[in-house]
Structure 1
Amino acid sequence: MSMKLVILGLLMECDSHPYELMQKMKERAMLHYIKMEEGSLYYAIDKLAQEAYVEVVAKVQLGGKRDRTIYRITERGTELFHELLDAQFAESKHIHHPLYAALAFAKHGRASRIHELLQHQIMEQQRIVTHLKDLYESHIHDVPRAVLHMMKGRLEHAVVELRWLERLSADAAADRLKMKGEPIDDAGAM
C-alpha cells in the first residue's frame, strides 16, 4: 500500500499532526499492510507539503517542547488521493511468501528442525490471528464498512496462513516433505 495513499486518506478524515497519523495507523493495524518508520512518515509529509498536496493548518506549542505542526490535505492532494486510490484498486498483486523459496529445497533440510521452526511460526501466527480478531471486533462500531472489509480480509488471510503452516508443520513432523505423488490433505481446510 502506498504511504502517500495512507497519509492522504487519513488527512481526508481530519487535519492531523504526523504523530497522530502514526497512532491511527497503529490503532487500525495498518502497519501490517505498509512498512513505515516514524521518521519516514515525517519525511513523506514534508515531501507532500513541498509538492502542495498537504499544507500546514496550525503550529501548536506544547509546554516547552517543539511545536506540533498540524497538516490538512489540499485540493491538489485530494486529486492525488483519488488517483492513488483508483490505482490501488486496479492493481493486481501476487503473493510472494518468504517460505516459498525455502520450500523448494525443504526436501534436503532436516525435517525435525523445520518442524521446530514452523512451530514458532505457528505460535506467532496464532498471536496475530487473535490480535486481528480482537482488533476487528473492537472497531465494528467505530470505522466505515470499507475499513471493516480491510480488517476482515487481513484476518481471513491470517487464518488461512495459520492453517497452511499447521499442515506444513504436520508434514515436517512426519518427515513427509520429500514425498512425491500424494496430494496435500485438505481436511479441516476452510
Structure 2
Amino acid sequence: MPRRALDNPIVLAVLGLLLEQSAHPYQMLSELRKRSDNHAAAITRGTLYNTVGALAEAGWVAAQGQQRSGNRPERTVYALTEAGRDELVRRLDVQIRTPEREFSQFLGAVSYLGALGPGGAVEALTERAERLRRRTAADERRLADVLAAGVPRLHVIEAEYASALARAETAWIEEVVDDIRTGRLTWPGPAAPRPGTDREGAGRKGEDA
C-alpha cells in the first residue's frame, strides 16, 4: 500500500471513529458520511478501503473478526491498536497546535471578486450570506437538540466550531457588502459583464473588473 495513503485527511477520522468502537469499512463509511457533509462529498468506498488497508499494514488497526448481516458477505471488523491510538494522539496534537492555511473554493473565487463588478459582487455575496445564515440556523437547531438529548458538548465540539466559522464568514461578507455600497471598496475600472450578459471585452482581474 503506498505510504501516501497514510497522508489522506480521512486517516484521522477513521482512527477517531475506531477509538469509539470497532467497525467494518462499510460501517465506517456510513458513519463518517452521516457525521460530516465534507466527508460525504470526499470519501468514496475505494478511498476508504484503501485507507483501512494502509492503516492495517502500518499496524494502526487490526482485524478483529468477521461479521455477517443477513445474506450479505462477511465483512472484516477492525479495531484500533495501541500504536494506532498513539498515532491518533500524535496527529491530533500536531493539527490542533498548528494553524494551517487551508485553501477553499470560496477563497479561490473571492480572490477574483473584481470580475463580477460592484453590483454583481453585492448580489453574489448577499445571496451567499443569506444561505449561510439559513444553514447555520438549521445546524444550530440540530446541535441544540443533540445537547438537549444529553450528548456531551465535547462529543459535538466540531459542530460548534463549524458554526462559529460560518458566523465569522457571514459577518465578513456583510462588512464587504457594506464597503462596496458605501464606496470604501472601489473598483479600478469598468465592471465586467454580469453572468448571462454579453461578456465581450471582459478582461483580467484588476484590469477590466
TM-score, normalising length: structure 2: 0.69
What is the RMSD of the two structures over their aligned residues, measured on CA atoms? 3.2
CA contact (8 A) 1:132 1:154 kept: no
* 2:140 is equivalent to residue 133 of structure 1: yes
User: Which of 74, 84, 89 in structure 1 is aligned with 2:91?
Assistant: 84
Cα distance change, pair 111–45 in 1 and its aligned pair in 2 (3 A)? same
CA contact (8 A) 1:55 1:74 kept: yes
CA contact (8 A) 1:107 1:178 kept: no
Cα distance change, pair 7–105 in 1 and its aligned pair in 2 (3 A)? closer
Partner residue, 1:66 = 73
* Structure 2 unaligned residues grouped into runs of 5+: 1-7, 189-209
Cα distance change, pair 55–30 in 1 and its aligned pair in 2 (3 A)? farther
Hey, what's the Cα distance between the residues in 2 that align with 1:123 and 1:113? 15
Which piece of structure 1 moves more, 140-149 or 96-105? 96-105
SS in 2 for 1:57: strand
* Structure 1 unaligned residues grouped into runs of 5+: 181-190
Which piece of structure 1 moves more, 156-165 or 122-131? 122-131
- How many corresponding residue pairs? 180
User: Which of 148, 155, 158 in structure 1 is aligned with 2:163?
Assistant: 155
Hey, what's the Cα distance between the residues in 2 that align with 1:90 and 1:61? 41
CA contact (8 A) 1:2 1:34 kept: no
Deviation at 1:116, TM superposition (A): 2.5
Alignment-mate amino acid for residue 121 of structure 1: R
CA contact (8 A) 1:16 1:72 kept: yes
Which piece of structure 1 moves more, 125-134 or 76-85? 125-134
SS in 1 for 2:162: helix
Hey, what's the Cα distance between the residues in 2 that align with 1:3 and 1:97? 17
CA contact (8 A) 2:66 2:74 kept: yes
Hey, what's the Cα distance between the residues in 1 that align with 2:88 and 2:112? 43
Deviation at 1:14, TM superposition (A): 0.6
Deviation at 1:168, TM superposition (A): 2.7
Q: Deviations over 1:37-91 (max 9, x none)?
A: 3431221111101222111122222333332221111122112112112212221
TM-score, normalising length: structure 1: 0.75
Hey, what's the Cα distance between the residues in 2 that align with 1:97 and 1:128? 18
Deviation at 1:98, TM superposition (A): 4.4
User: Which of 118, 121, 124 in structure 2 is aligned with 1:114?
Assistant: 121
Cα distance change, pair 23–134 in 1 and its aligned pair in 2 (3 A)? farther
**How much identity, in percent, do the aligned residues show?**
23
Alignment-mate amino acid for residue 21 of structure 2: C
CA contact (8 A) 2:32 2:40 kept: no
Hey, what's the Cα distance between the residues in 2 that align with 1:135 and 1:18? 27
